[in-house]
Amino acid sequence: MLISLQGLIPAVKKVFPDSEHRFCVRHLHSNFQEKFKGEVLKNQLWACARSSSVQQFNRNMERMKALSVDGHKWLEKMEPKTWVRAYFSEFPKCDILLNNNCEVFNKYNLEARELPILNMFESIRTQLMTRHTTSKRKQKGL
């Protein structure tokens, strides 16, 4: 199947039309802070993203507007169902605002990239198993 679309989001939408797309808020913030700097604006962006009801989101967006009209306009261009907890579908049983698992996996790929393919897979498998075991031990207090 050949797909000639510009960008990853349209390509995924074409191949998986029923999938839900969400943005990692940390990456959204990285783009936001290029134009709108400051700890107060950062905290307000996160307050908007963490909003658990539409009413709370609207209040937080009004606070953002009071802090930065341009920042508010920038956020309004983003579809809320892609970054605001209140708008997330209930189908995927996850309301995570960050994409840390992908970040970890990408780091493992980066370290193993120069290896032959089977060695690369083995390296990634070993790193993930070690991470999983360490995490479980911490949870059990060992």
Q: Judge whether 95 and 53 are in contact, CB under 8 Å.
A: no
Q: Judge whether 67 and 41 are in contact, CB under 8 Å.
A: yes
pLDDT tens for the 142 residues of the chain, in order: 444 446 777 877 888 888 777 788 888 888 999 999 999 999 999 999 999 999 999 999 999 999 999 999 999 999 998 889 898 877 655 555 655 566 666 776 777 888 898 998 898 888 888 878 887 888 777 6
* Other beta carbons less than 10 A from residue 84's beta carbon: 25
Q: What is the pTM of this model?
A: 0.61
Which 8-state DSSP code applies to residue 92? S
- Inter-CA distances, 41 with 27, 37, 77, 86, 87, Å: 15, 7, 17, 20, 21
